[in-house]
């Protein structure tokens, strides 16, 4: 049986909203900008309590990125909020020049990432954002796994100088990490210890990895589940240490196979410790309308997909 | 205006004009030395940069990136970096000799302004067009939040008005009454592919800015008397609830007869003979770097 259980489900975007509100109370330098999605991003409490530090920019994401960069120059710490699609692809050049290259202390906070956005369909379901953002020099990329971790990450990045991309999602998902956790940027978190396979998961896939670990244990397979909440900088030490023990890896993410966590880890392993690896990710496809759970199933992002990938990779050792 | 004020103004304009001549020499020499860069609009905007940095901008060459307690200037059309670098060096931000490294390997003077190597005077990268107004509006919004009474200045190109982000920022600035901001539009009528009117006409650009809720003034950017009066007028119109824009007509290439008024000198460098010709038209007033 797994040690991890949950009694409550909550959306990770609400973790962001709670973290932002707390930052409002503790750090006067924090300001928030939103492109007409205040409710969706759960920024309403911050707006209500700190109206002078909240800037509604309308449906104008490119301007929002420039404004945030400009505000940061004076020492403010701007948090921008919109959907992941409009936080990255739509404004890539603005982020590249005005934020990443210029090393501006802007926190790009992106909700509704991946297929779990659901019914709105592929126009809004970005699956390329981690790849785009991790390619940018100076950019830190974080994808926490539940409400508590998203809240902790939101609070932590205010004290982490430099451009950060913080990715979270729409659906209610299990809360299984501690409420009082300290979030360390770039530090992987081991959930279970195991000897037969390393499962590196990020974001919503963490809970599925934990479910898969329990099913694998029933089969006598001992899986080490590691939360890679920071895609960049990657915790290379933790990954290589685990691999030196298990000799095979499964990666799991709600993202394209190209450019995401699996790619990052494959790159690391190819350089230092060539290892059989299976990747649970979307394989070069756009999403579609549907319920989050249906989409996770259809696009190969379920607990069963992780389970099957483990069996497959162990055969390849 | 009484006689004394008139004399003061005349002497101020003479002084600025002298500096402009030297800055124009710097520009053509820098662009010639690396055989690349954008001399045309740099020359056209020289009088504006000189007036701003040597008279109107409240700034400190002991550079503080945050801009706290001083005015801030942003350049949106980053390709006219030669004029900015020259004016910054001659204002004491970094050694004059560094102008010789422009666009060369291992230089802080990148083709387009950048912050990566910490060049004093530069607060953000620019070059990819249309982004500088948003940045300046953000900086001005931050000054309001910090209750810093100083002004933010930004220069944009006219071709750049074709970028949609400019209009997003224009809308925001009027909505939030960013009235501690003076934007200047370098209206030289030329862009890389030809006259702006042929490439993508701005039609009535004054009416567009007015319709977006800005206080619009106009000036001649190559007539220091007219230009300085316009900058003073713009300053007097700040803090009245509206962002201010100075639509400044200039001639691309101004000061070098064969470069004037044509898009051909937007982005090419003079050869040795052309350099000599250009320098013969520009008095060395402050000593070449």
Q: How far apart are CA B233 and CA A5, in angstroms?
A: 68
Model confidence at B2, pLDDT cuts 50, 70, 90, reads: low
Contacts of B76 in chain A (CB under 8 A): none
ipTM metric:
0.96
Q: How far is CA A4 from CA A214, A304, B105, in A?
A: 9, 18, 55
Contact between residue B52 and residue B73 where contact means Cβ atoms under 8 Å apart: yes
Whether the model pTM is above 0.95: yes
* A61 is annotated as an active-site residue: yes
Chain A residue whose CA is closest to B164: A62
More confident residue, A4 or B259: B259
> CB neighbours (10 Å) of residue A48?
12
Q: Which of A8, A49, A61, A128 is catalytic?
A: A61
Q: What is the count of residue pairs from A and B with beta carbons less than 8 Å apart?
A: 114
Contacts of A65 in chain B (CB under 8 A): 134
Contacts of A71 in chain B (CB under 8 A): 138-139, 141-142
> CB neighbours (10 Å) of residue A245?
12
Per-residue pLDDT tens over the stretch B192-203: 999 999 999 999
Find, among A283, A261, A148, A257, the residue nearest to A201 by Cα: A261
Chain A residue whose CA is closest to B166: A63
- pLDDT higher than threshold 70 for residue A308: yes
A31 touches chain B (CB under 8 A): yes
Model confidence at B264, pLDDT cuts 50, 70, 90, reads: confident
- pLDDT higher than threshold 50 for residue A2: no
Q: How far apart are CA A187 and CA B64, in angstroms?
A: 34
A216, containing H or E segment: helix A205-218
Structure tokens at A62: 């490119």
Q: Do A65 and B134 touch (CB under 8 A)?
A: yes
Supply φ then ψ for residue A101, to 5 degrees: -65, -35
Q: What is the mean pLDDT of residues B32-54?
A: 97
Q: What is the mean pLDDT of residues A157-167?
A: 98
A99 touches chain B (CB under 8 A): no
Which residue ranges form the domains of chain A, and what is each CATH number? 9-174 (3.40.50.970), 189-315 (3.40.50.920)
Q: Do A63 and B172 touch (CB under 8 A)?
A: yes
Per-residue pLDDT tens over the stretch A87-116: 999 999 999 999 999 999 999 999 999 999
Strand order of the β-sheet with A164-167 is A54-56, A30-34, A77-83, A107-111, A164-167, A140-142, A230-232
A80 touches chain B (CB under 8 A): no
* Predicted local distance difference test score (pLDDT) of residue A301: 98
Q: How far apart are CA B154 and CA A241, in angstroms?
A: 52
Which residue ranges form the domains of chain B, and what is each CATH number? 3-280 (3.40.50.970)
Which of B114, B131, B176 lies closest to A94 in CB terms?
B131
Instruction: Lowest mean pLDDT of A246-260, B107-121, B216-230, B261-275, name the range.
Output: B261-275
Per-residue pLDDT tens over the stretch B58-77: 999 999 999 999 999 999 99
- Nearest Cα of chain B lies from the Cα of A103 at a distance, in angstroms, of 8
- pLDDT higher than threshold 80 for residue B115: yes
Model confidence at B4, pLDDT cuts 50, 70, 90, reads: confident
* Predicted local distance difference test score (pLDDT) of residue B259: 96
B47, containing H or E segment: helix B46-51
- Nearest Cα of chain B lies from the Cα of A50 at a distance, in angstroms, of 12
Structure tokens at B67: 């801009």
Contacts of B141 in chain A (CB under 8 A): 55, 67, 70-71
- Nearest 5°: CA angle at B259, between B111 and B96? 45
* Predicted local distance difference test score (pLDDT) of residue A1: 41
Q: What is the mean pLDDT of residues B133-150?
A: 98
């Amino acid at each position: 049986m797994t040690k991890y259980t949950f009694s409550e489900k909550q959306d990770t975007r609400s973790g962001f909203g709670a973290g932002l509100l707390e930052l409002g109370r503790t750090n006067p330098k924090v300001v928030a900008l939103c492109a007409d999605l205040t409710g969706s991003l759960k920024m309403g409490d911050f707006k209500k309590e700190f109206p002078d530090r909240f800037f509604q920019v309308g449906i104008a994401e490119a301007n929002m990125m420039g404004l945030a960069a400009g505000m940061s120059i004076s020492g403010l710490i701007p948090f921008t909020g919109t959907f992941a699609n409009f936080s990255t692809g739509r404004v890539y050049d603005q982020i590249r020049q005005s934020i990443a290259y210029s090393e501006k202390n802007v926190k790009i906070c992106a909700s509704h990432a991946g297929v779990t956005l659901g019914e709105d369909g592929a126009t809004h379901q970005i699956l390329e954002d981690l790849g785009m953002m991790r390619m940018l020099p100076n950019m830190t990329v974080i994808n926490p796994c539940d409400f508590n971790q998203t809240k902790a990450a939101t609070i932590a990045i205010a004290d982490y100088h430099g451009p950060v991309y913080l990715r979270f999602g729409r659906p209610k998902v299990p809360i299984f990490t501690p409420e009082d956790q300290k979030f360390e940027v770039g530090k992987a978190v081991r959930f279970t210890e195991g000897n037969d396979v390393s499962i590196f998961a990020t974001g919503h896939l963490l809970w599925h990895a934990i479910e898969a670990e329990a099913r694998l244990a029933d089969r006598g397979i001992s899986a080490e589940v590691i939360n890679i909440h920071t895609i960049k900088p990657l915790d290379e030490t933790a990954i290589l240490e685990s691999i030196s023990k298990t000799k095979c890896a499964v990666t799991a993410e709600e993202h394209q196979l190209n450019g995401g966590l699996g790619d990052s880890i494959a790159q690391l392993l190819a350089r230092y410790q060539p290892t059989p690896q299976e990747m649970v990710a979307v394989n070069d496809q756009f999403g579609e309308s549907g319920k989050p759970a249906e989409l996770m199933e259809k696009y190969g992002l379920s607990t069963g997909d992780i389970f099957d990938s483990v069996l497959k990779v162990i055969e390849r050792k | 205006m009484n006689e004394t004020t008139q004399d003061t103004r005349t002497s101020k304009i003479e002084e600025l004009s002298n500096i402009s001549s030297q800055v124009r020499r710097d520009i053509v020499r820098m662009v010639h030395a690396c055989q690349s860069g954008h001399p045309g609009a740099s020359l056209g905007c020289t009088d504006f940069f000189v007036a701003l940095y040597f008279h109107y901008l409240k700034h400190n060459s002991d550079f503080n990136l945050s801009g706290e307690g001083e005015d801030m200037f942003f350049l949106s059309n980053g390709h006219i970096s030669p004029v900015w670098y020259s004016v910054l060096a001659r204002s004491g931000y970094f050694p004059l000799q560094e102008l010789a490294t422009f666009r060369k390997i291992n230089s802080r003077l990148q083709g387009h302004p950048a912050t990566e190597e910490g060049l004093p005077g530069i607060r953000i990268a620019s070059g990819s067009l249309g982004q500088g107004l948003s940045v300046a509006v953000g900086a001005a919004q931050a000054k309001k939040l910090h209750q810093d009474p100083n002004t933010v200045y930004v220069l944009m190109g006219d071709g750049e008005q074709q970028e949609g982000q400019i209009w997003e920022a224009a809308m925001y600035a009027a909505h939030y009454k960013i009235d501690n901001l003076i934007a200047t539009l370098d209206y030289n009528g030329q862009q890389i592919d030809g006259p702006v009117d042929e490439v993508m006409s701005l039609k009535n650009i004054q009416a567009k800015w007015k319709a977006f809720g800005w206080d619009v003034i106009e000036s001649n950017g190559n007539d220091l008397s007219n230009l300085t009066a316009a900058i003073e007028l713009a300053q007097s119109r700040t803090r009245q609830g509206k962002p201010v824009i100075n639509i400044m007509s200039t001639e691309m290439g101004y000061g070098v007869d064969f470069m004037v008024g044509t898009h051909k000198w937007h982005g090419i460098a003079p050869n040795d003979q052309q350099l000599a010709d250009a320098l013969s038209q520009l008095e060395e007033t402050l000593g070449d770097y």
